[in-house]
Structure 1
Amino acid sequence: MRRSRWMDDDLDALAEMADTFFEKECAPHEDRWREQQHVDRGAWAKAGSQGLLCLSIPEEYGGGGGTFAHEAVLARSQAHSLSTSLGISVHSVIVAHYLNAYGTEEQKRRWLPKMADGQVIGAIAMTEPGTGSDLQAIKTKAVKDGDAYVIDGSKTFISNGHHADIVLTVCQTDCDAGSKGFSLVIVETDRPGFSRGRNLRKIGQHGQDTCELSFNSVRVPQSNRLSEEGTGFAHLMKQLPQERLILAATAVATMEKAVELTIDYTKERTAFKQPVFNFQNSRFVLAECATLVRVAQSFLDDCIVSHLDGKLDADTAAMAKWWLTEQQNVVADRCLQLFGGYGYMEEYPIARIFADARIQKIYGGTNEIMKEIISRSL
């Protein structure tokens, strides 16, 4: 595996620690987590005790004081360990960063330290049953009542929904203001009127909980709103590039692992009295996949360097998200083919890699939406 140019000794040490954590604390439980469709609650506390949550949140709020590079290293270790059920990226890279960027001092001190140690688990609720990628069609409403909001609506496909203690909820606070009518409100999940629906059964990512959420006259103080009223949509547009970049980082790491597994398998598996790797088709497919991984890594590295410098624009983030997740699916499919029938068996990691990859082209904004974003700048 080629070492990225943005890596340093501190990040190398983090990678070693993260590898050990996922190998010892997550990998042995993955099969059980996939069966029960969620991780054990205690896994969050263990990650927090190791300092692996909120790595890029300032130390004054309990975080690691690192950068996006630290989150990317963690995502790579998680993908390489094949222990992908713990929804750290949603919790640390997305929810925590909304709080850090737009929260008041009181809000940050109230929630971020508990998120960093795993006491409080975060989720973000954008998608609704009838909206998908069309965020401006969100119908969940937050109506003022005294010093509170009364929230009514429903959300679906919510990662970390099963264990979430706080849900960053996108609401309409002014139905007549268009994109300026949305606000971000933190909803604690122990409030009356909040309920979780069933854990949704997916074709992949079985251990990563995904829920439906309902808000039935949930009363939340207006002090739980992030930033000014009506700024929600603008904040989403500002934060989505980082979300898309962490998806891209996961895509590349998964591609690397798929190729590694397939090289090992084809060198061990025999057919017609010789290793499968010895067939020209096998070597050519793997050569193509290895090249895709190398090109993908170079593109990702450029994006990460730009992001660390504060220069990553929405168009480039969209390019990274769509192209790298597309190649993730291409590589997973080609590698699975070289496993033959065993590639279709769930106990083989390549089968899980293949099934888990498919959602990458959908969440974080579908790849079709990514192309639409890119086309607007042409």
Structure 2
Amino acid sequence: MVSSIAINMDDSRSFLTEKHLLFKQSIREFLNKEASPYYDQWEKEGGIPRLFWKKIGDNGFLCPWLDVEFGGAGADFGYSVVLAEELEMVGSALGGISIHSDVVAPYIASFGTIDQKHRYLPKFITGEMISAFAVTEPGLGSELANIRTTAIKKDGYYIVNGAKSFITNGFNADFLIVACKTDLDAVPSHDGISLLLIDKDTPGFSRGRKFEKEGQESSAELFFDDASVPIGNLLGEEGKGLSYIMQKLQQERLMCAIGSLMAAKDMLDLTVNFIKERKAFGKKISKFKNTQFTIVEIATDIQLGRTFVDGLICKHLKGEKIITEVSMAKYWITEMAKRISERCMQLHDGYGNMGDYKIARRHRDIPVTTFYTGSDEILKILIAKNIGL
């Protein structure tokens, strides 16, 4: 059992009520029974089994914030935070569940028609349907306004052509929200972007190879070759796709910061437990001053990050617009977690390079988070603009 360093991650956090803590206890007990014992095998097999999705849904942990009308509990964002943190403590490969529950589902809840909401959201909650959000394209990077996947109207359908890459949950998704160009002549170009709801059995849709991407083994490349999507599968208004994405980036970036912070906390716990047992030159590594200084520096970074993020969570719960601060948190914490992974690997010495050690998986998984929801450079450009530069 890995012991935990005394970092403010639990009961004393101001936004957590007794009900949140009961939810936290329930999801932790569930994961200890249904996920942790099998996680290593799931990674070897290349993904989280559908049976687990169904189990986590049956236990009421998916999309708790959704309205009762669709099968949810009408809960606040605090429950999403608890879910994301507990999933991340098991391993990064479970992050696709948070994307399904707290990134994809909110688009339908906010912009979907009543028919679309009833068609998809109840199955999101039960885990019967796995979802993905497909924006990134080969060679595109963070330039969302320049996406090349097109969707042209013809005879009551959108005819979709193009490709998407590195899509979390893409390999096993039953349903995708896909960003497409519906107006090739729009000025500015981002006015021509729309979001389409595309089911897995859509004619012309296919999946390519499964990427063995760091921490996201269910990630995949997707292809659309004259894929026929009913016009009724348009999400929201035509041409408003980029606007919708920008509206949801605050929560998406906050979720990324939350997950990366928990990964950093887990690496600290793993490392402290290791150095308390490992000996060198006749004494435990934890007794060397240089080792102690390193651990103190890591713990301080994590505590500062936790204080910052918890403040943002409280503001997000109140509905405040904090995209600048959230962008700061996302880029700084993901970079911090990457630095921490290097330092923790060094303290593990040769054992850190052994694939069956959790610290090795953490070190493998964390770098990709710096590219989620926009690279560091893109976020810094946004922040610079928002602070008047």
Global fold match (TM > 0.5): yes
Deviations 1:6-53 (A, max 9, x none): 111111111111111222111222222212221111111011011111
- Tell me if 1:24 matches 2:33: yes
Matched, 1:141 2:150: yes
Residue deviations 1:321-362 (CA, integer Å, cap 9, x gap): 101111111112111211111011111111111111100101
- Which residue pairs with 1:103 in the alignment? 112
Equivalent of 1:199 in 206, 210, 222: 210
Q: Unaligned stretches of 5+ in structure 1?
A: none
Residues 48 and 93, structure 2, Cα contact 8 Å, conserved in 1 = no
Q: CA deviation at 1:86?
A: 5.5
Map residues 106-255 of structure 1 onto 2, 5 A cutoff: 106-177=115-186, 178-202=189-213, 204-205=214-215, 208-255=217-264
After superposition, where does 1:46-125 map in structure 2 within 5 Å? 46-82=55-91, 84-85=93-94, 87-125=96-134
**1:273 & 1:130 partners in 2: Cα distance?**
53
* Corresponding position of 2:18: 9
Alignment correspondent of 1:314? 323
Q: Give the Å deviation of 1:123.
A: 0.3
**AA partner of residue 319 (structure 1):** M
Deviation at 1:83, TM superposition (A): 6.2
Give the whole-Å Cα distance in 1 for the aligned partners of 2:67 and 2:202.
29
Alignment pair present for 1:341 and 2:313: no
Q: Partner residue of 2:293? A: 284
Is 1:150–1:218's contact at 8 Å kept on the other side of the alignment? Answer: yes
Cα deviations across residues 188-237 of structure 1 (Å, max 9, x unaligned)? 011111101010122x215x311000011111111111111111010011
Q: Which runs of 5+ in 2 are unaligned?
A: 1-6
Report deviation, 1:57: 1.8
Tell me which residue corresponds to 2:361: 352
Measured after TM superposition, the shift of residue 275 of structure 1 is: 0.9
1:84 offset after TM fit, Å? 3.4
Structure 1 length as normaliser, TM-score? 0.97
Give distance in 1, aligned partners of 2:57 and 2:95.
12
TM-score, with length taken from structure 2 = 0.94
1:259 aligns with 2:268: yes
In structure 1, the partner of 2:373 is 364
Could you tell me which amino acid in structure 2 is paired with residue 27 of structure 1?
S
Alignment check: 8 A CA contact 1:181 1:230 kept: yes
Give the match's secondary structure for 2:207.
Answer: strand
2:4 aligns to what?
none
Shift of 1:244: 0.6
Residue 367 of structure 1 aligns with an amino acid whose one-letter code is D
Please identify, of 80-89 and 248-257, the stretch whose mean Cα deviation from structure 2 is larger: 80-89
2:89–2:266 Cα contact (<8 Å) kept = yes
Amino acid at match of 2:215: Q
1:327 aligns with 2:336: yes
Provide the C-alpha distance between the structure 1 equivalents of 2:368 and 2:203, rounded to a whole number of angstroms.
32
- Aligned partners of 2:248 and 2:349: how far apart in 1? 41
Alpha-carbon RMSD: 1.2
Return the alpha-carbon distance in structure 1 between the equivalents of residues 74 and 350 of structure 2. Answer: 46
Distance in structure 2 (CA, Å) of the matches to 1:271 and 1:349 = 22
Please tell me whether the aligned partners of residues 92 and 215 of structure 2 are also in contact (alpha carbons under 8 angstroms).
no
Q: How far did 1:65 drift?
A: 1.7
Contact 2:92 2:365 in 1 (8 A): no
Task: State the 1:279 CA deviation.
Answer: 0.3
Q: Distance in 2 between matches of 1:199 and 1:205?
A: 13
Q: Is the 8 Å Cα contact of residues 124 and 169 (structure 1) preserved in structure 2?
A: yes
**Separation in 2 of the partners of 1:212 and 1:83?**
19
What CA distance in whole angstroms lies between the structure 2 residues aligned with 1:107 and 1:370? 32
Is the Cα–Cα contact under 8 Å of residues 303 and 312 in structure 1 kept in the other structure? no
